[in-house]
Amino acid sequence: MKRTAELTFDGKTLELPTVVGSEGEVGIDIATLRSGTGCITLDPGYGNTGSCESAITFIDGEKGILRYRGYDIAELAERSTFIETAYLLIYGDLPTRPQLAEFSEMLTENQMLHESMRHHFEGFPASAHPMAILSAMINAASSYHPNLIHKREERFPFHAARLISQVRTIAAFSHRKAHGLPVTYPKSTLKYTANFLHMMFSMPGEDADLKPEVVRALDTIFLLHADHEQNCSTSTVRMVASSRANLFASASAGVCALWGPLHGGANQAVLEMLQQIHDEGDDGSKFLAAVKDKTTDRRLMGFGHRVYKNFDPRALIIKEQCDKVLAQLHQSDPLLDIAKKLEEIALHDDYFISRKLYPNVDFYSGIIMRAIGIPLDMFTVMFAIGRMPGWIANFKEVMEDPTSRISRPRQIYTGPTQRNYVPVEERA
């Protein structure tokens, strides 16, 4: 029997259908609410609102579950790669060997930027934030391919591969620009993540030392960030896509949403916290005591998660990579020592355990990126590179949905009621 919900308002009862997801979650369909009652819902932050039906990612925050297209994140992190997972997210299934080879070839063919785009990079000041450059250059790149707008469905695989490939090229170029370094072009012989590190850190006549543990760790960071259901940036991509904007414009909007410190800036906030603790001459013990003291305004960054009420499943995976990278690099870094101290105390302190304040993916990914030499202002850019397949998959889902309509939320107006215009000389 189909389950329904009843809503009664002013003595009038409206029967609302329900939608049941493949994992059993239930949504109440309120599409007829306004026409049936004259009312709308109010849900600031959309914490209780399902904006769409999607077959891409499943999250159970209570149980700490994250699955891409039905595959558990731990299994993908152990056995897959970022590029294979990107294909899975976009096209729905793991690729066959020929499909993966074709996809990889398309990435290689499209990794170079149009040479004229170098002039765009030169227009930014040296102080420009890499996220500002990334969003602007993704939009600029679209102008070199007018078929983004015409024949978009026919050319989608090409544009998807081009965006995934070029986002890392743009990111690496922006890093080199900010530090006054000559541009390093991609190498066709290197795989995706190794190629990015090559563009970031190689010098003229001298290639970067691409340690396998470092490449694998960054590839895992990209994979773990590849999608995360209807978060702020993904919802932004879907909303822009609903207007039938092109893929690059929609992704550029996603970058802008991700830039916010409450979203993509979380791993950067972790390192800023660690730096503050170090500057105060603390090993982390005093800081955690202050966090537990309600009279202070100290906040513990990189612990807990809005969605996960248990351990962030991505944190368990990235912690292992973090330990391997630190062991391989043999680095002596006071901030990393403080991070280890915070982790040790928080995982054994009843205050943090009872509040489910476990280290999340941002805590460990920030530590890894610092260890391998990625600058702090590039942390959110790393997030954007990883999240690109998820944005593309959601864009594709919007475009292929025959019932898709332009997103247009309502509001509850709280301003003045009707007023009459008063000439300026008569105003008090």
Q: Which residues pair with 17 in a beta bridge?
A: 4
**Residue 151: per-residue pLDDT:** 58
Helix (H) or strand (E) holding 343: helix 334-346
Q: What was the pLDDT predicted at 308?
A: 86
Are the C-beta atoms of 199 and 174 separated by less than 8 Å? no
Instruction: For strands 71-72 and 65-68, give the pairing.
Output: antiparallel
* 155 vs 103, higher pLDDT: 103
- Structural domains present in the chain: 4-65 (2.20.28), 72-261+377-400 (1.10.580.10), 266-371 (1.10.230.10)
Residue percentage of the chain with pLDDT more than 70: 98
Q: Which is more confident, 118 or 193? A: 193
**Percent of the chain's residues with pLDDT above 90:** 66
Nearest-angstrom CA–CA distance, 372 and 171: 16
Backbone angles phi, psi at 251, to 5 degrees: -65, -35
Distance, in Å, from the CA atom of 405 to the CA atom of 407, rounded to the nearest integer, reads: 6
Q: Tell me which long-range contacts 194-202 makes (C-beta under 8 A, separation of at least 24).
A: 195/111, 195/168, 196/168, 196/171, 196/172, 196/385, 197/372, 199/168, 199/169, 199/172, 199/173, 200/172, 200/175, 200/176, 200/374, 201/373
Token digits of residue 137: 């250059």
Q: What is the pLDDT of residues 256-288, one digit of tens each?
A: 999 998 899 888 888 899 999 999 999 999 999
What is the longest distance spanned by two Cα atoms in the chain?
79
Residue 312 to residue 83: CA distance in whole angstroms: 23
The helix (run of H) or strand (run of E) holding residue 319 is helix 313-329
Rg (CA), the chain: 24
> Residue 83 phi/psi, 5° resolution?
-70, -40
Q: Is the dihedral of CA 259, 165, 398, 29 positive or negative?
A: negative
Distance CA 136, CA 388 (A): 15
pLDDT digits (tens, 9 = 90+) for 190-228: 999 999 999 999 998 899 999 999 999 999 999 999 999
Confidence bin at 81 (pLDDT 50/70/90): very high
Q: Is 268 helix (H, G, I), strand (E, B) or coil?
A: helix
Mean pLDDT check: name the lowest of 73-87, 136-150, 170-184.
Answer: 136-150
Q: How far apart are CA 104 and CA 65, in angstroms?
A: 29
Q: What is the structure's pLDDT at 159? A: 93
pLDDT confidence of residue 291: 93
Confidence category of residue 11, pLDDT binned at 50, 70, 90? confident
pLDDT band at 152 (very low <50, low <70, confident <90, very high): low
Q: Is 187 exposed, middle or buried (0-12, 13-18, 19+ CB in 10 A)?
A: middle
Q: Looking at residue 150, what is its pLDDT?
A: 61
Q: Give the pLDDT confidence score for residue 388 in this predicted structure.
A: 98
Contacts 24+ apart (CB under 8 A), 262-265: 262/232, 263/231, 263/232, 263/233, 264/131, 264/233, 264/380, 264/383, 264/384, 265/379, 265/380
CA-based angle 193:199:203, to the nearest 5? Answer: 135
Q: Could you confirm whether 362 is annotated as catalytic?
A: yes
Determine the pLDDT at residue 65: 94
pLDDT exceeds 70 at position 149: no
Point out the catalytic residue in the list 209, 362, 377, 401. 362
Side chain identity at 50, as an amino acid letter?
Answer: G
Catalytic residue list contains 297: no
As a 3-state breakdown, the chain gives helix, strand, coil percent values, each rounded to 5, of 55, 5, 40
> What are the tokens at 21?
């997801």
Helix axis angle for 313-329 and 361-371, nearest 10°, is 20
Tell me the pLDDT tens digit for each residue of 359-368: 888 888 888 9
> What order do you get walking across the sheet with 26-28 strand by strand?
4-9, 12-20, 26-28
pLDDT of residue 335: 83
- State the pLDDT at residue 118: 84
From the candidates 60, 305, 337, 377, which is the catalytic residue?
305
- Read off the tokens for 413: 């107006």
Give me the pLDDT at residue 279, please. 95
Residue 179 has pLDDT above 90, yes or no: no
For residue range 307-329, what is the model confidence (pLDDT) as tens digits?
888 788 998 898 888 888 888 88
CA-wise closest residue to 171 among 251, 84, 89, 260: 251
Cβ–Cβ < 8 Å for 319, 364: yes
Higher pLDDT, 1 or 124: 124
